[in-house]
């Protein structure tokens, strides 16, 4: 039996899917224009297999004061990565408080921008048992024509992307799941991420899964493969 609850962690409202006998925590981070409800709806079966799912809205998303960054804004890139940087800090605080409250091993999953946040967290020393990066990468987006980055923290993401700091990931098991027809986060950017990280990973702890014909969406097949990966590392 799985129940849905609203709770507060690190001062933030969260949505939780709570199994009868939870074995682990899974903090799920949504993408740009997404929401806590949206990311949880894309991970069916996880709670039934013992994962206590936690999700909260990123800054400027969902229940929080918005709107999300718009591609029409001349500062779009900076706005997107300001959201990502704030989302990362909040996710760290939520993860730490959740581990303390529930006393369960922590896992991470992120979709699109949320996957980039997963990379930020790993590159800054957060140590979940394992992590999923759906339809995302450890490199920031290519700058749209005419846009410049002036914000120093966002500039730093372009000068030293998370994926170039693979030694800081600590070998945390990480699975990238991607569609071959993704036009938002091109497949090459995910492949570049895995290539950059591989020298810093022991055999078997860094993996990729490609779904032929899939675009920029977390598909049911990706969700099932991700669940199997997490279960492997929960038992390992």
**DSSP per-residue codes, 23-46:** -EEEEEE--TT--HHHHHHTSTTT
Do the Cβ atoms of 221 and 207 come closer than 8 Å? no
Q: What's the rounded Cα separation, in Å, for the pair 91 and 126?
A: 10
Q: What is the rounded end-to-end Cα distance, in angstroms, of the chain?
A: 25
Q: Report the pLDDT value the prediction gives residue 236, as an integer from 0 to 100.
A: 59
Domain housing 36: 2-235
Which residues have C-beta within 8 Å of that of residue 65, sequence separation ≥ 6? none
Residues 6+ apart with CB under 8 A from 32: 68, 69, 80, 83, 112, 113
CATH of the domain at 172: 3.40.50.1820
Residue among 132, 115, 114 nearest 24 (CA): 132
Q: Are 172 and 226 in contact (CB under 8 A)?
A: no
Q: 56: how many CB neighbours lie within 10 A of its CB? A: 28
Helix orientation angle between 76-102 and 113-123, rounded to the nearest 10 degrees: 60
In 3-state terms, what secondary structure has residue 127?
coil
What is the per-residue pLDDT for 66? Answer: 80
- pLDDT string in tens for the chain (236-residue length): 899 999 999 999 999 999 999 999 999 999 999 999 999 999 999 999 999 999 999 999 999 988 999 988 889 999 999 999 999 999 999 999 999 999 999 999 999 999 999 999 999 999 999 999 999 999 999 988 878 899 999 999 999 999 999 999 999 999 999 999 999 999 999 999 999 999 999 999 999 999 999 999 999 999 999 999 999 999 85
CA proximity to 104, closest of 54, 173, 35, 45 = 54
d(CA 8, CA 131): 23
60-66 CB contacts, 8 Å cutoff, 24+ apart:
61/30, 61/33, 61/34, 61/35, 62/35, 62/36, 62/37, 63/13
Which stretch of DSSP H or E encloses residue 94? helix 76-102
Q: Please tell me whether the overall predicted TM-score, pTM, comes out greater than 0.75 for this model.
A: yes
pLDDT of residue 175: 98
In the DSSP assignment, the letter for residue 177 is: E
What's the domain count of the chain? Answer: 1
Rg of the chain taking only CA atoms, in angstroms:
17
Task: Check residue 21 and give its pLDDT.
Answer: 94
């Amino acid at each position: 039996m799985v129940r849905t609850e609203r709770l507060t962690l690190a001062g933030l409202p969260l949505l939780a899917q709570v199994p009868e006998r939870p074995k682990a925590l899974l903090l799920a981070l949504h993408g740009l224009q997404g929401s806590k409800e949206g990311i949880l709806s894309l991970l069916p079966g996880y709670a039934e297999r013992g994962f206590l799912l936690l999700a909260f809205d990123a800054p400027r998303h969902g229940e929080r004061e918005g709107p999300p960054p718009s591609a029409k804004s001349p500062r779009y890139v900076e706005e997107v990565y300001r959201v990502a940087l704030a989302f990362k800090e909040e996710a760290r605080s939520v993860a730490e408080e959740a581990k303390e409250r529930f006393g369960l091993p922590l896992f991470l999953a992120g979709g699109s921008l949320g996957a980039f946040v997963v990379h930020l967290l790993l590159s800054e020393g957060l140590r979940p048992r394992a992590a999923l990066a759906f339809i995302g990468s450890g490199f920031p987006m290519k700058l749209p024509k005419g846009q410049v980055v002036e914000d120093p923290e966002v500039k730093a993401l372009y000068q030293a992307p998370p994926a170039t700091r693979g030694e800081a990931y600590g070998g945390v098991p990480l699975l990238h799941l991607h569609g071959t027809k993704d036009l938002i986060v091109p497949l090459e950017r995910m492949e570049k991420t895995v290539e950059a990280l591989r020298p810093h990973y022991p055999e078997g702890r860094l993996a990729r899964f490609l779904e032929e014909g899939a675009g920029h969406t977390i598909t049911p097949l990706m969700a099932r493969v991700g669940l199997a990966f997490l279960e492997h590392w929960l038992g390992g």
